[in-house]
Amino acid sequence: MRETEEVAQLLRELKSRSGLSYGALAKRLHLSTSALHRYCNGDVMPTEFAPLDRLSRLCEATPEERVELHRLWVIARAVRGNKPPAAPEPPEPAAAPAPPVPAAALPAPDRAPGVAPRRRARRRGALAVATVIAVLAVVGIVVIGLKTNQAGAADSARAADSARAADVRPSAGAPSPSLSASRSPSPSPSAAGASPSGTPAGADPSTGAPITVSVQPSGWLTECDRYVVNRPPSEVPRPPAVADVAGWVSQVGAVPGHYQSVKLTVQGTGWEPVLLTGINVRVTRVAAPLAWNVYSMGEGCGGGVGVHAYDVDLDAARPVPVVSDGSTGLPVRVSESDPAVIEVNAETTSHDVSWYLELEWTTGTRKGMLTVDLGHGTPFRTSAVKGRPLYTYPIGGTAWEPRPFQS
C-alpha cells in the first residue's frame, strides 16, 4: 500500500535524524523494540495515531512533517478499513437428478397377502395432502412473523426519531474514554462565563454536517501532561503506554490538570470540499479547583505547535480561541482525501472548568456548526492544580514519588 510505505519512509527519516537507536526510542515511547521496527518497516500500521505522533515529537519533527504524517496515517487507515470483503464461496452445484429407472427393473414391493395396491396408493395420497397442509401452515406463520417484525421495526424507528428530536444532552460528568463528535444542541441558558451556543444564521439544523471529527485529548503526547486524581499514590497505577491512556484515565477517574491539549482530525464525508471557517469554546460549568492529588506524566514540557493551533484561557470571562504563535488558524479546506488537524491548547490556573468546542463549516450554499466533545455529550474538563501535592513516576522507578510543585 503506497500510503503505508510513505508513513514508514517518513518514520525512518525521523528516526535517522534523531541519532537514537530503536531500543532508546522504544523505551521512551513505552513500546517494544520489535513493534517500533514493524512501524518503521511498514509491516504494521498502528490503530491509534498516538505512538506515531509521540515518535515524531521525540525526533523533533517540524509541524508540517507532523501534519503530513497524520494525513498519511488517516488515509492509510481509511484504505485498510475500506477493503472489500472476501467474495463468498460459490455454492456447490445441485446434484443432477437420478435417471429414471424402468418399472421392470424395480424390485417387486413387499406386501402382505390380500393388501391391494390401490389402498397403498390412497395412503400415499393422504400423506401428501397432510404434508402440503403442514407446509402452508408454516408459511402462514412466517408471513405473520414478518408482518409483526416490520410493524415493530417501524415503531422502534418512530421512537428513535422522537428521542433524537428531544435532543437532550446529559449533564457534565467525568471524562469518558469514548471519543466522538456530536451535533450542536439547542441553545440553552449560559453558565457563568459561558459562550453563547446555537447554530449560525443560515445553517440548516436538520441536515447533518458534511464532516467527521476524530477527537484525541491529552494523553502523554507532551512531557507536561498532568492529571488530578482523588486517590493516594499507593492506589494509582503506574503511567500506562500511550495506547492505554484512555483506560487508565477512566479507571482512576482522572481529570486533566492545569493544561489540556485536544487534537481534532477533521475529514470530509464526500467529494465536495468543506471550508472550516472558525472554532469556538462554550463553557458549561465553572467551579472551584479540585482538591485532589496531582500526577505528572513526565519531566518538563516539550513538543511543537501544529499548523492550525489555538490557545484558550479558560479563566477568561468569555474564553476565545487565539491562534498560537508560529501557527496559522482557520479557515482551511478539508475533503475526504485531505484531512486537517486542529490543535486546541486550553489551560486554567484558578478553576475547574467543563467546556465544549464548536466547529463552524460551510460548503456550497450550506453552513452550520458541529459541537465537539469527548463522546455521548460528555464535555472536556480541566482543573487548576496550583498548591496541590504533586507526584511523578521516574523512569526505572517502582512507585510514585513526591516532587516540589512547579507551575
Q: What is the DSSP string of 228-281?
A: EESS-GGGSPPP--GGGHHHHHHHHT-EEBSEEEEEEEEEESSSS-EEEEEEEE
Give the pLDDT confidence score for residue 179 in this predicted structure: 37
Task: Tell me the sheet residues that pair with 346.
Answer: 260, 312
Provide the percentage of residues in the chain whose pLDDT is more than 90.
32
pTM of the model: 0.56
| CATH of range 180-403; options 2.60.40.1470, 2.60.40.10, 3.30.465.10, 1.10.10.60 | 2.60.40.1470
Q: What is the pLDDT of residue 297?
A: 80
Q: How many CB atoms are closer than 10 A to CB 327?
A: 16
Report d(CA 61, CA 300) in Å as an integer. Answer: 19
Domain boundaries, the chain: 2-81, 180-403
Contact 50, 246 (CB under 8 A): no
What is the C-alpha to C-alpha distance for residues 259 and 124, in angstroms, rounded to an integer? Answer: 85
In this structure, what DSSP letter does residue 43 have? S
Say what the pLDDT of residue 224 is: 60
Cβ neighbours of residue 301 under 8 Å, at least 6 residues apart? 222, 223, 224
Indicate the helix (H) or strand (E) that contains 123. Answer: helix 117-166
Which residues is 347 bridged to in the sheet? Answer: 259, 313
Residues 193/281, Cβ–Cβ less than 8 Å: no
pLDDT of residue 117: 43
How confident is the model over 43-91, as pLDDT tens digits? Answer: 888 888 888 888 888 888 888 888 888 888 888 887 765 544 444 444 4
Structure confidence at residue 344 (pLDDT):
93
What is the structure's pLDDT at 227?
94
Q: Measuring CA to CA, which residue among 3, 123, 391, 39 is closest to residue 234?
A: 391
Give CA angle at 330 (327, 335), nearest 5°: 115
Q: Kind and range of the H or E element at 151? A: helix 117-166
Assign domain 2-81 to a CATH class: mainly alpha
CA dist., res. 54 & res. 50, Å (int): 6
171-175 long-range contacts, Cβ below 8 Å, gap at least 24?
172/284, 172/285, 172/354, 172/378, 172/379, 172/381, 173/378, 174/253, 174/255, 174/378, 174/381, 175/217, 175/249, 175/250, 175/254, 175/255, 175/374, 175/378, 175/380, 175/381
pLDDT digits (tens, 9 = 90+) for 358-404: 999 999 889 999 999 998 899 999 999 989 999 998 888 899 999 88
Cell of 155: 415503531
Residues of the chain with pLDDT under 70: 80-207, 218-224, 298-306, 406-407
Query: Residue 91 has what pLDDT?
Result: 45
Distance CA 212, CA 191 (A): 28
